[in-house]
Structure 1
């Protein structure tokens, strides 16, 4: 089964604050039965463009559109205390009836850390922090009573997390580094590499699967997911215009419906079965129609 999710825009267009919600309300009914989930990136700003905070948006989206699962794509682990984040996630999982996917990575956008006065340690330290975070998640979500943990960077002392999430929250680890993919092999049900072309993506899949085999885990037990932009147009030039020169076939799915089906179909045949797509051009009716054509066709492709 191939699943699709819609990545909501990080914020409204500059100077058009009122558009974000109406555009989603106009678009989503067309995709009932096609998009399984709604996603939100976790960033504080992109220059001076309006940017919404991810967890606030996810809580809002869970209530407004109860037919969808929800998830961040992906959380920066050091933006929030990991024990508090585990508690937030457990609460949202219970209140939504089990619709949360916890997607998390090590964090990378240094200007955000500096601007908001967060420490920005080395990549190696951030990955160690991510491992502590994942361990805290697992312990707080599963262990009864008081929970203790002494990690390299984060600790728990007689911590409670009640109620427990039910059902258990699936974990998605995002990132392609060797250490990050090892953490995915150890802790995750899903793995994601954003904005990646075919060769770059499947090079990292080989690394992930190598880690799985080294620790005795079936590589097929981790879902391969892809996050990025979809720019579909009546002509290739029209699709490229939607990408604005930033999103191309090297880091997105760009082209006519037939071209996009070919691009995404190659990923499906390689084992990807979940796409989180930021569809450029919504709520344009032509974009909606062409996107539906693409998703309908892709459902018939076998991995």
Structure 2
């Protein structure tokens, strides 16, 4: 698969004007994908700092950008009815001219659930809800008028070896791994075992995605050797420093 670079514009600790500018700068730099995240409060820094909602923002990005793919890394399945989420994704897909990626996961940030009135429950229950949601999302897309502009790529984030990776094997076009190169390699092999069990060649059909926080010369080659082809650099407000993103783009371009 082609090596790709993404930036996660974390919607925290900034006015929206700074987020809009970071998106513009990211596209101008040449990133392949711009992600945000699906939370209601900052994950780092001042826990009550400035923060904005995921999907409203993706609609704005669909109109603001021209070339990059956009999506959430990742949407929390618990926060929206799966049929509603599918229709939101279909709409942003059309708004963007076919550039949306549906990044989705089971959810984990308990404060979001508590403050917004969602039942947190257990990790097992949230993963089961995700498994139930995936065919509903696909069925809603198929029944929509108009249907999506393309088969919207599905990226699933999570590392549960028995359940989450099974859902990845059944439904995902990309898998986002949380962890180091050893974790990526081990869980990637488990994903392929699940793929064989469900009849999908996940080694060639499911892209491996991972977050990076160090320069490429320090970490890129071992991650590539472990199968990663999509590398995401996080950037937070208020200033959205993209200097590390520039280094990864230069590395990507040197490989082509």
Greater relative CO (CA pairs within 8 A, separation 6+): 2
Distance 1:294 1:39, change over 3 A: closer
Counterparts of 2:194 and 2:119 in 1: how far apart (Å)?
Answer: 30
Choose from 191, 213, 220 the match for 1:253. 213
Equivalent position SS for 2:232: strand
CA displacement, residues 209-261 of structure 1 (integer Å, 9 cap, x when unaligned): 1111222211221111113xxxxxxxxxxxxxxxxxxxxxxxx432xx4xx32
Distance 1:214 1:113, change over 3 A: same
Structure index of larger Rg: 1
Q: Match for residue 271 of structure 1? A: 227
Query: Equivalent residues in 2 for 1:2-81 (5 A)?
Result: 2-13=3-14, 19-25=18-24, 27-28=25-26, 30-31=28-29, 34-46=30-42, 47-81=47-81
Q: Match for residue 163 of structure 1? A: 146
Counterparts of 1:68 and 1:294 in 2: how far apart (Å)?
Answer: 16
Q: Match for residue 234 of structure 1? A: none
Distance 1:29 1:94, change over 3 A: closer
Contact 1:253 1:263 in 2 (8 A): no
Counterparts of 2:207 and 2:125 in 1: how far apart (Å)?
Answer: 26
Counterparts of 1:97 and 1:291 in 2: how far apart (Å)?
Answer: 25
Counterparts of 2:193 and 2:27 in 1: how far apart (Å)?
Answer: 41
CA displacement, residues 81-112 of structure 1 (integer Å, 9 cap, x when unaligned): 11111111111212221111001000111121
Q: How big is the shift at 1:62?
A: 1.1
Q: How big is the shift at 1:296?
A: 2.0
Say what the alpha-carbon RMSD is for the aligned residues: 2.2
Equivalent position SS for 2:32: strand
Contact 1:173 1:190 in 2 (8 A): yes
Equivalent position SS for 1:168: coil
Counterparts of 2:236 and 2:219 in 1: how far apart (Å)?
Answer: 17
Q: TM-score, normalised by structure 2?
A: 0.88
Q: Match for residue 201 of structure 1? A: 184
Unaligned runs of 5+ in 2: none
User: Is residue 186 of structure 2 the alignment partner of residue 185 of structure 1?
Assistant: no
Counterparts of 2:19 and 2:102 in 1: how far apart (Å)?
Answer: 24
Q: TM-score, normalised by structure 1?
A: 0.75
Equivalent position SS for 1:273: strand
Unaligned runs of 5+ in 1: 145-160, 228-251
Counterparts of 1:114 and 1:189 in 2: how far apart (Å)?
Answer: 31
Q: Match for residue 155 of structure 2? A: 172
Distance 1:94 1:19, change over 3 A: closer
Distance 1:17 1:135, change over 3 A: closer
